[in-house]
Structure 1
Amino acid sequence: MRFRKIDPTLIVAAVSGVLLAAAFPRPDYFFLAWVALVPLLLVMRRRPFATGFTAGIVFFATVLYWLNFVMITYGRLQPLFAFLAYLFLVVYLAVYFGMASWASCRLEAVFKLPYLITLPPLWVALEYLRGVLLTGFPWAIIGYSQQNFSPAIQSCDVTGVYGVSLMLIIVNCAVAGVIAAPKRRSAWLGVVITVCISISHFGYGVWRQSQPLEQRAEQLRVSLIQGNIDQMQKWDPDNRQASVDRYQHLSLLAREADPQLVIWPEAATPFFLQDQSNLAEHVRKLPQKLNAYLLVGSPAYEKLSPDTYQYFNSAYLFSPSGVELGRSDKQHLVPFGEYVPLGKFLGFIDKLVVGVGDFSSGQVRPLPLGEHSLGVLICYEAIFPQLARNYIRKGSDLLVNLTNDAWFGRSSAPYQLLAMTRFRAIENRIWIARAANTGVSALISPAGKVVLSGPIFEKVQLTGNVGLGAEETVYTRFGDLFAFVCMTISGVFLVALVLAGKYK
Structure 2
Amino acid sequence: MLKHISLAVISGLFLALAWPTYGLCPLIFIAFVPLLWADYQLREQYSKNNFRAFLLAFIAFVIWNGISTWWIWNATPAGGVFAIIVNTLLMTLVFMLYHWIAKRRPLRFSLIAFSGLWIGFEKFHHHWDFSWPWLTLGNVFSERITWIQWYEYTGIFGGSLWVLLINAMVFTALVTYLQSGNRKYFIKQLIAAASLVAIGILISQYIYLTYDNKGETIEAIALQPNTNPYTEKYNRSHTEIANELIRLALPDMSPNTAVVLAPETVFSTKVTTEEFENSQTYGMLNQFIDRYPNTDLLMGIDLYKIYSDDIPRSKTANSFSNTASAWYESYNGAFFLSRNNPVEYYHKSKLVVGVELFPYRRFFKPLLGNVMIDLGGTVSTLTPQKEPSVFTLSKSDVKIAPVICYESIYGEFMGKYTKKGAEIFGIVTNDSWWGRTQGYQQLLSYARLRAIEHRRSIVRSANSGVSAFINQKGEVISRLDYEIQGALKGQLQVNKKLTLYSRQGDFVARIMAFVGILFALAAFFVPRKKAGEE
1:289 maps to: 291
Tell me if structure 2 keeps the 8 A contact 1:60–1:94. Answer: yes
1:65 maps to: 70
Q: Return the offset for 1:15.
A: 1.8
2:24 maps to: 29
Tell me if structure 1 keeps the 8 A contact 2:57–2:92. Answer: yes
2: CA distance, partners of 1:373 / 1:407: 30
2: CA distance, partners of 1:140 / 1:467: 30
Tell me if structure 2 keeps the 8 A contact 1:315–1:376. Answer: yes
Picking from 393, 410, 416, the partner of 2:442 is 416
Picking from 83, 105, 120, the partner of 1:89 is 83
In structure 2, stretches of 5+ residues that fail to align are 43-51, 310-325
Larger mean CA deviation between 296-305 and 351-360 belongs to 351-360
- The verdict on how the C-alpha distance between 1:90 and 1:248 changes in structure 2, with shifts beyond 3 A counting, is same
Tell me if structure 2 keeps the 8 A contact 1:152–1:201. Answer: yes
SS in 2 for 1:268: strand
Letter in 1 for 2:346: S
2:307 maps to: 304
- The verdict on how the C-alpha distance between 1:481 and 1:347 changes in structure 2, with shifts beyond 3 A counting, is same
2:229 maps to: 231
1:77 maps to: none
Letter in 1 for 2:381: D
Runs ≥4 residues deviating over 6 A? 501-504
Cα RMSD, aligned residues only: 2.6
Picking from 372, 387, 394, the partner of 2:413 is 387
Tell me if structure 1 keeps the 8 A contact 2:298–2:402. Answer: no
Picking from 247, 250, 253, the partner of 1:249 is 247
In structure 1, stretches of 5+ residues that fail to align are 1-5, 73-81
Tell me if structure 2 keeps the 8 A contact 1:233–1:239. Answer: no
- Is 2:356 aligned against 1:338? yes
2: CA distance, partners of 1:351 / 1:111: 45
2:39 maps to: 44
Tell me if structure 1 keeps the 8 A contact 2:147–2:204. Answer: yes
Q: Return the offset for 1:117.
A: 3.8
Q: Return the offset for 1:138.
A: 0.5
* Aligned residue runs from structure 1 range 95-134, under 5 A: 95-114=89-108, 117-134=112-129
- The verdict on how the C-alpha distance between 1:192 and 1:315 changes in structure 2, with shifts beyond 3 A counting, is same
Tell me if structure 2 keeps the 8 A contact 1:300–1:313. Answer: yes
2:389 maps to: 365
Larger mean CA deviation between 484-493 and 242-251 belongs to 242-251
Larger mean CA deviation between 423-432 and 132-141 belongs to 132-141
1:326 maps to: 344
2: CA distance, partners of 1:308 / 1:97: 38
The count of corresponding residues between Structure 1 and Structure 2 is 486
Tell me if structure 2 keeps the 8 A contact 1:10–1:51. Answer: yes
Q: TM-score, normalised by structure 1?
A: 0.89
SS in 2 for 1:349: coil
Tell me if structure 2 keeps the 8 A contact 1:100–1:126. Answer: yes
Letter in 2 for 1:336: G
Tell me if structure 1 keeps the 8 A contact 2:428–2:461. Answer: yes
Letter in 2 for 1:404: N
Tell me if structure 2 keeps the 8 A contact 1:316–1:324. Answer: no
SS in 2 for 1:443: strand
Letter in 2 for 1:355: G
1: CA distance, partners of 2:69 / 2:156: 20
* Aligned residue runs from structure 1 range 424-463, under 5 A: 424-463=450-489
* Aligned residue runs from structure 1 range 132-211, under 5 A: 132-182=127-177, 183-184=181-182, 187=186, 190-191=189-190, 193-195=192-194, 197-211=196-210
Letter in 2 for 1:328: Y
2: CA distance, partners of 1:51 / 1:213: 47
Tell me if structure 1 keeps the 8 A contact 2:170–2:193. Answer: no
Tell me if structure 2 keeps the 8 A contact 1:317–1:325. Answer: yes
1: CA distance, partners of 2:357 / 2:128: 17
Larger mean CA deviation between 341-350 and 248-257 belongs to 341-350
Q: Return the offset for 1:231.
A: 0.6
Larger mean CA deviation between 171-180 and 467-476 belongs to 171-180
